[in-house]
Amino acid sequence: MILSGTTLAVVAVDEAACERVAAPLRTAGALVQCTIEQTDTLATLSEPGFDAIVLDVGEQPERFLPVAIALRTDPRTRDLPVVALPDPSLPSGRLARLGAVHVIAQGDEGASVPLLADLIESRRTALAAIEYARQQEERMRAAGERLTSMRTEAQTLAHDARALCGIVVGFAANLRDEIAGPLEPTQHVHVALIIDAANDTAALLERFVTTARAQASLPERMSSRPPPSRRVARRTMVDFAEIVRTTARLLGTMAAEKAIVLRVDAPHPVLLWGDSMQLKQVVTNLLVNAVKFTPRRGGVAVTVRSVNGSRPAVGRAGRSRAELIVRDTGPGIPTEERERVFQRGVRLALDVPGSGVGLAVVREIVSAHSGSVRAGEAPGGGAELTVELPLDIRSRREQPLLLVEEPAAARKVFAALRGQRDWTREALQAGSPLVAALETCRAVIVVPRGSRASLDEALEDAAPISARTSAEGS
């Protein structure tokens, strides 16, 4: 029953011819409707539900020409398989005008069964594929509309939230400038923190919208970027020590609630070329963890400092680093868990609230800054988290400039920076004054001998990066 479930139309010149053609089709399981070729044939054939049409053209294919043309042009029937059964003696040229129909010689009607089965199956497969594609297109369109709508909502939200941040910053600045009356020194600190936090919030929102916009405009393959915490979003010159002090002040209340002594040792600037908000996130996560796991009346000690590398590479930024150590007097982290705590979702103490992503985010941000973080044991058994971040040559603000006026020395400096030219080897031996100067200076300035104007320009170029950045931003 190869044609079970199919409905066929047979068009013939008379009833007998129709039944002759229909018989093997019915035997194969098809439901067959016989139609005598006449004026209302087209109306019958264009009714929905037929899977294929058989034209018993015999010796008179021209008589079926209007039907064949109509079937090919009517949108309701043009994709239906059409099989023609001509008289075997009919020259093939007389069938050509019927168009793209499948031909089986009259008298061989049985052969039409497998042919029709194939044609119907192919058509059904094609229709199913078209329907599937249509549904997929519809889903994609709906998803696209949802995405566009979410992006618009996100932009509106960011806009409105920035406007609200503007009100917070505005009134806080009025307090700061004592327009509403004098402030105590502590109140000044609090107001500065409010302004800082509101500006950070606005910057975060803007960054979110910018990222969403950039992602939306990229092809899918290119937009599969890592999450924001795994890349450095925006580098500027930042004082890591100041970030630590500010964050510790913000978390002071949280520590005070548990009578925890939060001690910060960050007396000197530690300048980095990094993303200030991400670095704030690192410090916040570490301090929140420390305070959370430290029992009442315990202590959290935070140290941040620059550590000089043992043997910096000549002419490069060196391997000096910023080191942040957070120690607490909590239960500590078992040795076997000290690596696992940096995995997303890992929580060592299920009775302490948390999501298990804090330290994972710390590691992602620190890695994005080419640094490292490790967990260890503090004296007394508490946890000790150590973050190391590379310092940038531009951070050596407190270190001297190296001015090179001799043309010969200038060549040596450039060669040292590039690590090229044999004749520089001698000059770059360990202990040579030039090597020592390169390792300790924050910038190398080469000027033609005696050119005062060039020297001034060079010094201006070597001005602190952060100062230049803020000037450009205003």
Partner 1 sequence: MVRAGAHVLLVDDNPKALEFLDVRLKALGYRTTIANNGEVAIAAVERDKPDIVILDVTMPEVNGYQACRAIKRISPKTPVIILTAKAEPADRFWAFESGADAFLNKPIDPAVVVEKVRGLLES
Binding stretches for partner 1 (CB under 8 A): 159-160, 162-163, 165-171, 173-174, 177, 179-180, 195, 198-199, 202, 206, 209, 474
**Contact assessment for residue 202 and residue 162, using Cβ atoms and an 8 Å cutoff:** yes
- What does the alpha-carbon distance between residue 186 and residue 204 come to, in Å, rounded to a whole number? 27
**Contact assessment for residue 191 and residue 175, using Cβ atoms and an 8 Å cutoff:** yes
Closer residue to partner 1 in complex, CB, 218/259: 218
Tell the smallest beta-carbon distance from residue 231 to partner 1 (Å): 21
Kindly give, in sequence order, each residue whose CB lies less than 8 Å from that of residue 232, ignoring residues fewer than 6 positions away. Answer: 274, 275, 278, 368, 369
Closer residue to partner 1 in complex, CB, 171/414: 171
Tell the smallest beta-carbon distance from residue 176 to partner 1 (Å): 9
Tell the smallest beta-carbon distance from residue 179 to partner 1 (Å): 5
**Contact assessment for residue 288 and residue 251, using Cβ atoms and an 8 Å cutoff:** yes
**Contact assessment for residue 192 and residue 186, using Cβ atoms and an 8 Å cutoff:** no
What's the token pair of residue 86? 């001509």
Closer residue to partner 1 in complex, CB, 199/440: 199
Tell the smallest beta-carbon distance from residue 281 to partner 1 (Å): 20
Closer residue to partner 1 in complex, CB, 23/167: 167
Q: How many residues does the chain have?
A: 474
Tell the smallest beta-carbon distance from residue 158 to partner 1 (Å): 8
Closer residue to partner 1 in complex, CB, 162/292: 162
Closer residue to partner 1 in complex, CB, 165/302: 165
Q: What separation, in Å, do the N-terminal and C-terminal C-alpha atoms of the chain show?
A: 83
Alpha helices in 177-239 (DSSP H): 185-216, 220-223
Closer residue to partner 1 in complex, CB, 195/445: 195
200-208 — which CB contacts under 8 Å span 24+ positions?
200/277, 200/280, 201/161, 201/165, 202/161, 202/162, 202/165, 202/166, 202/169, 203/277, 204/277, 205/157, 205/158, 205/161, 205/162, 205/165, 206/158, 206/162, 207/233, 207/234, 207/277, 208/154, 208/158
CA 249, chain centre distance (Å)? 33
What's the token pair of residue 336? 């076997």
**Contact assessment for residue 318 and residue 439, using Cβ atoms and an 8 Å cutoff:** yes
**Contact assessment for residue 346 and residue 356, using Cβ atoms and an 8 Å cutoff:** yes
Tell the smallest beta-carbon distance from residue 284 to partner 1 (Å): 21
Task: Collapse the DSSP code of 257 into the 3-class scheme (helix H, G, I; strand E, B; otherwise coil) and give the result.
Answer: helix
Tell the smallest beta-carbon distance from residue 210 to partner 1 (Å): 9
Task: Collapse the DSSP code of 405 into the 3-class scheme (helix H, G, I; strand E, B; otherwise coil) and give the result.
Answer: coil
Closer residue to partner 1 in complex, CB, 107/170: 170
Tell the smallest beta-carbon distance from residue 234 to partner 1 (Å): 14
**57: nearest Cα among 111, 106, 119:** 106
Tell the smallest beta-carbon distance from residue 311 to partner 1 (Å): 45
- What does the alpha-carbon distance between residue 76 and residue 70 come to, in Å, rounded to a whole number? 10
Closer residue to partner 1 in complex, CB, 155/466: 155
Phi, psi of 101, rounded to the nearest 5 degrees: -115, 160
Tell the smallest beta-carbon distance from residue 198 to partner 1 (Å): 6
Task: Report the half-sphere exposure of 375 (CA within 13 A, side-chain side).
Answer: 23
Closer residue to partner 1 in complex, CB, 44/236: 236
DSSP assignment, residue 449? T
Closer residue to partner 1 in complex, CB, 121/177: 177
Tell the smallest beta-carbon distance from residue 156 to partner 1 (Å): 9
- What does the alpha-carbon distance between residue 401 and residue 407 come to, in Å, rounded to a whole number? 17
Tell the smallest beta-carbon distance from residue 254 to partner 1 (Å): 25
Closer residue to partner 1 in complex, CB, 95/173: 173
